[in-house]
Amino acid sequence: MDDELIEFKEVSKSFGKNVVFESVSFVIPEGKITGIIGASGEGKSTILKMIAGFYQPDKGKIYYRKREIKKDMSTIYRIFGLAIEDGSFYEKLSVEENLFHFGKLYGVEKKILKDRIKELLGLVGLENAKNTLAENLSVGMKKRLDLACSLVHNPAVVVLDEPTADLDPLLRKHMIDLIKNINSRGTTVILTTQLLEEAEDICEKVLILFNEKIVEGDKPSLITKKYSCSNLNEVFNKIFTSRDRKTYQESNKEKTVVEPLKKTNIKTLSYSKEELDKLIETASKKSDSVLEEIRGLKNNGN
């Protein structure tokens, strides 16, 4: 039996009147790649945010190593890495400066951080772009930078939201190989994807989210066998075309913006659409101050 790392036990979550999950239970094994699949609007990203502690259940409990996550958030922030679909890095910082920035926020010691950044640049293939501003990177390079930022503190668990979205087939293969490499080093990987061939290729366990429930959770080969299908695409079509489908949407007031963490504290704030527009408007000004701070850190570390 797989070692249970994370467990959802009878978890329910709603946004206003929109139900996302209803009494969902599943287990994520340690040291493996687990994929969460489902159509748009099923709540895949919400599961990731709940695993990382950004959302709390309305009912039920979420455990990490048998300990309730909400009671041990300092540990979660320290050993989890998160790469969201839209990216969390600063456009006005270079690749190396972004890694310095996130390393500092995660509390990595300066002596260790310098070597860690060098290692990560090699791992994600950005050594030759370390002085390039993030805004000037290609889509594929931005994905790799975001992944590197989530790994800078050497987390035991990395959570990836659509890591291959918007990538061409060649770049997608490169990202998949990179995820496999990270997992081979002992890191537990949890990801969402809408590319079922991809899930079948890299995931040792797949969770299928449909109509507020996890309707399947097993090895891809066992799921396809259960449905007498040759691949997950066929399984997906059977599940999603045989029953009426519900979808949900977070209300404007419940959209979540996660600010960068400070040491072991992550702030989660809710904004209305108007407030989000104002926040985006001032983001470039904020990045200027961050730029000064990170360049000062680098200079002091030399």
pLDDT of the residue at 77 = 85
Sheet of 80-83, strand order: 80-83, 157-161, 188-193, 33-37, 205-210, 213-218
pLDDT of the residue at 41 = 79
pLDDT of the residue at 274 = 52
pLDDT of the residue at 87 = 76
> Hey, what are 274's tokens?
């108007």
Give the largest CA-CA distance in the chain: 62
pLDDT of the residue at 54 = 86
Q: 266: which residues sit within 8 A by CB, 6+ positions away? A: 53, 54, 77, 258, 259
What is the per-residue burial (b if ≥16 Cβ within 10 Å, else e) of 57-95?
beebebbbeeeebeeeeebbbbebbbbbeebebbebbbb
Q: How many domains does the chain have?
A: 1
pLDDT of the residue at 276 = 43
pLDDT of the residue at 195 = 87
CA 218 to chain centre: 21
pLDDT of the residue at 289 = 55
Report the CATH number that the domain containing residue 64 is assigned in CATH: 3.40.50.300
pLDDT of the residue at 25 = 95
In whole angstroms, what is the distance from residue 67 CA to residue 156 CA? 16
pLDDT of the residue at 134 = 95
Write out the residue range of the structural domain in which residue 62 sits.
Answer: 4-301
**What stretches in the chain show pLDDT beneath 70?**
1-2, 242-302
C-alpha pair distances (Å), 82 with each of 176, 212, 253, 262: 17, 24, 23, 15
CA dihedral 216, 222, 228, 229 (to 10 degrees): 80
pLDDT of the residue at 277 = 46
Q: 298: which residues sit within 8 A by CB, 6+ positions away? A: 96, 97, 100
Q: Do 20 and 59 touch, CB atoms closer than 8 A? A: no
Q: Do 29 and 204 touch, CB atoms closer than 8 A? A: yes
pLDDT in tens, 103-115: 998 889 988 999 9
Q: 150: which residues sit within 8 A by CB, 6+ positions away? A: 81, 82, 83, 88, 158, 159, 160
